[in-house]
Amino acid sequence: MTAMRGKAWKFGDSISTDHIAPGRLFHLRSNLPELAKHVLEDARPEFASSMAPGDFVVGGGNFGLGSSREHAPTIIKIAGVSAVLAKSFARIFFRNCINVGLPAIICDTDKIDEGDELEVDLSRGKVINRTKKIELSFPPLPPVMTKILQEGGLANYIHKHGDFRLK
Amino acid sequence: MGKTLAEKIIGEHVGREVVAGEIVVTPVDVCLVQDGTGPLAINQLRKINLEKAANPQQTVLFIDHASPSPRKELANDHIALRQFARKTDCYVSEVGDGVCHQVINEYYTRPGDIVIGADSHTCTSGALGALGTGMGSTDVAIGIALGKTWLRVPESYRFVVYGRFQPGVYAKDLILHIIGMLGADGATYKSMEFCGETIENMEMSERLTMSNMAVEAGAKCGIIFSDKKTRAYLIAHGRGKSYRELRADEDATYERTYEVNASKILPTISFPHTVDNTRNIEHKDCQDVKIDQVYIGTCTNGRLEDLRIAAQILKGKQRHPGTRLIVVPASRSVYQQALEEGTLAILNGAGASIQSPGCGPCVGIHQGVLGDGEACLSTQNRNFKGRMGNPNAFIYLASPATAAATALKGKIADPREVIG
Ligand code: SF4
């Protein structure tokens, strides 16, 4: 996989799936491109209209807590975000990110500020903050998740392999 | 080596001993999706040409979140669920049947099962001695089609709860207290296991409330042993044969053990906008908090016992004129019993708006969306910003008793002052 480059959009701690894909837009769930126009609206209303494809969502602790709605990482991906970085993730959201083919990266996001130019190299496990000229490392995913991510998500993975392969 | 409940249940499924930290592929017993997550699950299966169900008798598609449908887009989603069910022989739980986590535990979950659901509160099934866990649409879609999933065997936190609740204090106060103590990510990836005399003494209604909220501390599941109360619950729902006793081994390994004295717990409230932002009712912040809407219902506290507690407080009285009261029974059978025994008549007489079984206003789609600047005190499990349909509103979480007391007073009120 080639390195991803873009600008950081900073969010605080405890960004919930209600911030990302609120229940009041429930009727747009079967119209994901439309729902994606509202991504993260209740955390930063200007985000969806101002971000550029390739940019990064950078959160604090417990990113993605709350509901199991896979629509949340899906619309982050559809909006063109290359990866979500956070100090920690809620369990279901993390798993959903990988399942929809959106890299979720656990690193020290205190070292990233709004607007910093970032480069992420998944295979080396590195985030390069080009603005601050520092490198952050992140832990590798369990092998099963790496495979799912490499195939572009769980549906593609199962389509290709027909089953789960742990090795 | 001794096993926790999570290790036992997963080990039985994969046919060998497992320990926390391992990743396994395991068969699943029960799968559920709801009308918010099901359409995406179905689409994913269609995309990869895998529209089938490995165990259709144990796969349920719930129409509960937007039910009855308030908009055509959602009605169309419901059609998609019904069509998939016809094609695969899965079961549709229809408009008015109730909230997924109530119905699945009334009629499907057995002790020792693995239940996966495209809804975060699937952990509710832990109350019956099952491992229930929430996942996304694609994970559950694959679980439905193949009858299996992959899991990491979780480490477990044990909560030993002892002592008797003071009058006016309930399981909801205990679990809010525990989440306040742990924090909203205090048990991320872990299995919370509840035990001790207070849990032994709880009826299933209260155990379901405990397990339901495990995910609010970030946990993968919240499991309780099965015992004679589990058995009685299964018998009451015509499923006595599904019972088996399941307990963790005495020498199981827990990453942490917490001891909680239930007799010290006071009525507890979560303040906006996070569940772990708790205060007990005697805290000064609970003084003079005006409440515009009280909601009693949901998979956390919409059971018969909950409605009875509220009715006991509201009997022969009227809600405060400045506070509307919404009541939604969690399932058709709860509704039926509450109707027959007169509980709903009491609530209606006290000025409640009683609505069709389902999620009600919990997730901000319909039936009680809040206005700008309004405050709601709800018996639900979550109070995130925007949760009830308006990011400019405020949600407080509490027990049904606190909710009923609040409906009477028009502001956050201590249930101990109004129970007889
Ligand atoms: S009642 Fe609320 S928390 Fe429970 S399943 Fe419905 S929306 Fe989710």
Q: Which two structure tokens, joined as six digits, stand for B228?
A: 């004679």
Domain assignment present for A167: no
Q: How many structural domains is chain A composed of?
A: 1
Domain assignment present for A153: no
Residues B296 and B370 in one domain: yes
Domain assignment present for A34: yes
Residues B285 and B203 in one domain: no
Closest residue in chain A to residue B216, using alpha carbons only: A66
Residues A26 and B318: their CA atoms lie apart, in Å, by: 34
Residues B256 and B117 in one domain: yes
Residues B286 and B359 in one domain: yes
Q: For a ligand 1 pocket test, name from B103, B211, B362, B366 the mutation site with the most ligand atoms within 8 angstroms of its C-beta.
A: B362
CA of B209 to the centre of ligand 1 (A): 12
Return the pLDDT at B382. Answer: 97
Domain assignment present for A13: yes
Q: How is residue B347 annotated by DSSP?
A: H
pLDDT tens, B335-368? 999 999 999 999 999 999 999 999 999 999 999 9
Domain assignment present for A84: yes
* Helix intervals (H) in A51-108: 71-78, 91-99
State yes or no: ipTM above 0.90.
yes
Domain assignment present for A164: no
Q: How many structural domains is chain B composed of?
A: 2
Closest residue in chain B to residue A156, using alpha carbons only: B48
What tens-digit pLDDT sequence spans chain A (167 residues)?
A: 568 999 999 999 999 999 999 989 999 999 999 999 999 999 999 999 999 999 999 999 999 999 999 999 999 999 999 999 999 999 999 999 999 999 999 999 999 999 999 999 999 999 999 999 999 999 999 999 999 999 999 999 999 999 998 77
Q: Which of B386, B31, B392, B380 is nearest to B216 (CA)?
A: B380
CATH number, domain with residue B56? 3.30.499.10
Residues B154 and B189: their CA atoms lie apart, in Å, by: 6
Residues B403 and B278 in one domain: yes
Q: Answer positive or negative: Cα dihedral of B8, B10, B16, B22.
A: negative
Domain assignment present for A21: yes
pTM: 0.97
Characterise B23 by phi-psi region: left (phi > 0), alpha (psi -120 to 50), beta (else): beta
Residues B219 and B333 in one domain: no
Substitution target from A68, A69, A147 for chain B, most B beta carbons within 10 A:
A68
Residues B214 and B304 in one domain: no
The whole domain housing B108 covers 5-16+24-261
CA of B298 to the centre of ligand 1 (A): 6
Q: Answer positive or negative: Cα dihedral of A40, B222, B40, A152.
A: positive
Find the CB nearest B386 among A19, A31, A62: A19
Domain assignment present for A144: no
User: With a CB-CB cutoff of 8 Å, which residues 200-239 of chain B face chain A?
Assistant: 215, 218, 220
Q: Answer with the one of B219, B240, B261 that is the final residue of a domain.
A: B261
Asked if B384 lies within 8 A of A90 by C-beta distance, the reply is no
Return the pLDDT at A144. Answer: 92
Pocket (CB within 6 angstroms of ligand 1): B 65, 99-101, 119, 121, 298-299, 359, 362-363, 380-381
Query: Quick check: B333 and B308 in contact, CB under 8 A?
Result: no
- With a CB cutoff of 8 Å and minimum separation 6, the contacts of B105 are B124, B125, B127, B128, B208
Find the CB nearest A158 among B48, B218, B388: B48
Return the pLDDT at A1. Answer: 55
Residues B242 and B363 in one domain: no
Q: For a ligand 1 pocket test, name from B34, B60, B121, B376 the mutation site with the most ligand atoms within 8 angstroms of its C-beta.
A: B121
Q: Answer with the one of B261, B293, B324 that is the final residue of a domain.
A: B261
CATH number, domain with residue A71? 3.20.19.10
Return the pLDDT at A3. Answer: 83
Residues B330 and B239 in one domain: no
The Cβ-side half-sphere exposure at B231, using a 13 Å CA radius, reads 8
CA of B78 to the centre of ligand 1 (A): 17
pLDDT tens, B114-168? 999 999 999 999 999 999 999 999 999 999 999 999 999 999 999 999 999 999 9
Phi first, then psi, for residue B192 (nearest 5°) are -90, 130
Q: Which atom in ligand 1 lies closest to the alpha carbon of residue B120?
A: 8
Residues B350 and B252 in one domain: no
Residues B295 and B159 in one domain: no
Residues B278 and B336 in one domain: yes
With a cut of 50, which residues of chain B have pLDDT below it?
Answer: none
Q: Answer with the one of B231, B261, B291 that is the final residue of a domain.
A: B261
Q: Which of B110, B106, B112, B111 is nearest to B93 (CA)?
A: B106
